[in-house]
């Protein structure tokens, strides 16, 4: 174990002791053996002065002291007001854009180092006092020489060593959990931490964030739903990002939104529509949509438009994941529990040998009590928690590729219900999902799939030629006594084409002409003399 990792662990323990987080932990319904550990903690035998902080303040200050990984965890928790007491949620919400800033002189030094020029040479005006400060970076207002109002985002100094040591401890905790707990093993914590490691290191590269912002802006070009600020690429570097300054109302400023007569119902519904549009239409979604990254334009409050910033974390799904997710949601809200169970088995979430009838009954037991409520009162967070209770019986596993999606969905739900408590998430999402499913089987979509398959034909032909050349180089010279063996490579290729054609036909139906083409070519090669 490195010296840095040991020092980091001691710092974590110091913060726990300083803010009495062990007292908060022991109020939870923990197993008996864990509650007994309190007698083994030496500091609990020492006299301690009462902490003159509320529990929410203690949690917020502790997370701030522990740094970016823990701050981001607090940001996620702050969006779940249906799961947290109001006093704790209000305090954690301050982590979204009120993290203590670092020295502005360090910010100026880093900007000049990255841009290779003095701040005064690049900007007509640069505000030394930070406009906002977050866990990874802080932002300064400025004006370009050409007159555009911009913001300059700069990465905090000395982050990598802290993140590296925190991740080391997270990996250690994940490995211990996998070895000691069957339930934890189903969560695949090591894979989840690995995904998070990639995500947080990606956030340290502002050129990646700039590219994400440009893509998201292009996806919603001219849209009334979402506006994404313009990136000024000439002044972007790995640790500095310059983009258009936006003027809007923070989405959590409910009083200002009410004063300007914002249509709150439409605003909440549009948030859901933006989420499903990004996931299903674009397969490119903003995966860090906590309230500190979301504003509302002031121009048309009767038809409110969102403004999104901080595109450091984005997610995407494969077509298979998209199809699986849409079918699950539709079946789930139609209470077709057998379909939900079968989809889980088909997708590999539960083992293939799982008995569908038993799994269906378990899902029904979890879901029926929830569906007795009005749809607007159904919490996805509560539902996910209850569904996971079936994991012990059916070995259900959390899919790492969907972790970002699940987190984003929880953020959207928490935000939507904060804006409009009567939000009916399903009635907003259902038309979009059903329309998307219809479009997937439309003639236009099938024709597009055929075109994509046809574009692969030259590539497949070249692969086939390369394979045949390798086979011909490796096989011995055929003898006169074995003429029947001369065409075996072509017959082998033909068998592969037949198998591919049959599998494509089964999946894509008779409209997939590429499947028939593959089948015919394969038969011709097999029957060739």
Per residue in 411-450, pLDDT (tens digit) is: 777 788 888 888 877 777 778 888 887 877 656 655 665 5
The reported pLDDT for the residue numbered 473 is 65
pLDDT exceeds cutoff 50 at 506:
no
Confidence of residue 162 (pLDDT cuts 50, 70, 90): confident
* End-to-end C-alpha distance for the chain, whole angstroms: 67
The tens digit of pLDDT for each residue in 97-146 reads 667 788 889 999 999 999 999 999 999 999 999 998 887 889 999 999 99
Res 181 pLDDT > 60: yes
Residue 511 is predicted with a pLDDT of 42
In terms of Cα–Cα distance, which of 190, 183, 174 is closest to 397?
183
pTM of the model as a whole: 0.71
Tens digits of residue pLDDT in 271-282: 888 988 998 889
Higher per-residue pLDDT: 24 or 200: 200
The pLDDT, as a whole number, for residue 487 is: 56
**pLDDT of res. 421:** 83
Mean pLDDT of 76-98: 70
Span 225-241, pLDDT tens digits:
999 999 999 999 999 99
Residue 326's contacts (CB-CB under 8 Å, 6 or more residues apart) are 280, 433, 436, 437
Contact (Cβ atoms closer than 8 angstroms) between residue 38 and residue 21? no
Please give the structure tokens belonging to residue 182. 């069957």
Q: Is the dihedral of CA 105, 110, 111, 112 positive or negative?
A: positive
Q: Residues 341-356: pLDDT tens digits?
A: 888 888 777 888 888 8
Other CB atoms within 10 Å distance of the CB of residue 473: 7
Residue 348 phi/psi, 5-degree rounding, is 90, 5
Choose the weakest-confidence range: 124-128, 165-169, 182-186, 194-198.
182-186
Share of the chain above pLDDT 90, in %: 23
- Determine the longest span between alpha carbons in the chain, in angstroms: 98
Which residue out of 97, 202, 205, 288 is catalytically annotated? 288
Provide the pLDDT for residue 386.
Answer: 66
Greater pLDDT, 17 or 471: 17
* Sequence-distant (≥ 6) Cβ neighbours of residue 78 within 8 angstroms: 84, 89, 92, 93, 95, 96, 290, 291
DSSP 154-179: EEPTTHHHHHHHHHHHHHHHHHHHHH
pLDDT at residue 36, as a whole number: 64
**Predicted local confidence at residue 507, as pLDDT:** 41
- Whether the pLDDT of residue 460 is over 80: the answer is no
Q: How far apart are CA 406 and CA 285, in angstroms?
A: 12
Which of the pair, 65 or 391, is modelled with greater confidence? 65
Give the residues across from 227 on adjacent strands. 307
Contact present, 74 and 92 (Cβ < 8 Å): yes
In percent, how much of the chain has pLDDT > 70?
Answer: 67
CA–CA distance, 499 with 300 (Å, rounded to integer): 57
Residue with the larger pLDDT of the pair 293 and 527: 293
Q: At what angle do helices 3-18 and 55-66 cross, to 10 degrees?
A: 170
Higher-pLDDT residue of 63, 516: 63
pLDDT over 80 at 34, yes or no: no
pLDDT, position 161: 83
pLDDT at 212 over 90: yes
Mean pLDDT of all residues in the chain?
77
- Checking if the pLDDT of 27 tops 70, the result is no
Comparing CA positions, the residue from 366, 447, 400, 382 lying closest to residue 187 is 400
**pLDDT above 90 for 522:** no
User: Does the annotation count 321 as an active-site position?
Assistant: no
What does the pLDDT average to over 313-317?
85
The pLDDT of residue 123: 95
Buried-state track 269-300, b at ≥16 Cβ within 10 A, e below 16: bbbbbbbbbbbbeeebbbbbbbbbbbbbbbee
């Amino acid at each position: 174990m490195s010296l840095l990792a040991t020092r980091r662990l001691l710092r974590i323990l110091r913060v726990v002791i300083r803010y009495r987080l062990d007292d908060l932990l022991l109020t939870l319904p923990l197993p008996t053996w864990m509650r007994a550990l309190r007698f083994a903690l030496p500091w609990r035998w020492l006299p301690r002065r009462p902490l003159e902080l509320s529990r929410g303040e203690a949690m917020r200050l502790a997370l701030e002291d522990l740094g970016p990984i823990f701050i981001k965890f607090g940001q996620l928790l702050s969006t779940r007001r249906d799961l947290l007491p109001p006093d704790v949620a209000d305090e954690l919400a301050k982590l979204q854009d009120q993290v203590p800033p670092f020295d502005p002189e360090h910010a100026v030094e880093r900007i000049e180092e990255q841009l290779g020029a003095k701040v005064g040479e690049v900007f007509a005006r640069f505000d030394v006092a930070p406009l906002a400060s977050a866990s990874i970076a802080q932002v300064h207002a400025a004006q370009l020489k050409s007159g555009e109002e911009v913001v300059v985002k700069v990465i905090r100094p000395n982050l990598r060593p802290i993140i590296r040591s925190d991740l080391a401890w997270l990996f250690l905790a994940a490995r211990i959990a996998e070895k000691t707990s069957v339930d934890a093993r189903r969560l695949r914590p090591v894979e989840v931490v690995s995904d998070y490691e990639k995500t947080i290191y990606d956030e340290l590269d502002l050129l990646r964030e700039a590219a994400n912002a440009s893509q998201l802006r292009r996806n919603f070009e001219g849209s009334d739903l979402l506006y994404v600020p313009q990136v000024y690429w000439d002044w972007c570097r790995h640790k500095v990002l310059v983009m258009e300054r936006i003027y809007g109302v923070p989405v959590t400023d409910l009083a200002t939104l009410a004063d300007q007569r914002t249509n709150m119902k439409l605003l909440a519904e549009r948030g859901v529509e933006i989420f499903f549009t990004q996931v299903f239409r674009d397969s490119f979604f903003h995966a860090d949509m906590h309230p500190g990254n979301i504003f509302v334009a002031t121009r048309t409050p009767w038809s409110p438009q969102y403004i999104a910033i901080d595109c450091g974390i984005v997610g995407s799904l494969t077509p298979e994941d998209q199809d699986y997710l849409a079918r699950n949601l539709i079946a789930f809200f139609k209470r077709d529990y057998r379909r939900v169970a079968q989809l889980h088995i088909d997708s590999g979430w539960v083992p293939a040998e799982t008995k569908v009838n038993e799994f269906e009954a378990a899902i029904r037991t979890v879901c029926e009590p929830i569906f007795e409520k009005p749809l607007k009162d159904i919490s996805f967070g509560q539902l996910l928690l209850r569904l996971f209770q079936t994991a012990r019986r059916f070995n259900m596993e959390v899919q790492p590729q969907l972790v970002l999606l699940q987190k984003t969905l929880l953020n959207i739900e928490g935000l939507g219900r904060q804006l409009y408590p009567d939000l009916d998430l399903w009635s907003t999402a259902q038309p979009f999902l059903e329309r998307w499913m219809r479009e997937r089987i439309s003639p236009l979509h099938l024709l597009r799939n055929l075109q994509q398959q046809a574009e692969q034909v030259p590539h497949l032909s070249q692969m086939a030629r390369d394979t045949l050349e390798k086979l011909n180089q490796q096989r011995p010279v055929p003898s006169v006594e074995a003429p029947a063996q001369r065409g075996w490579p072509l017959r082998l290729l033909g068998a592969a084409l037949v198998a591919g054609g049959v599998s494509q036909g089964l999946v894509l139906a008779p409209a997939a002409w590429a499947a028939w083409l593959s089948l015919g070519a394969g038969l011709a090669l097999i029957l060739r003399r």
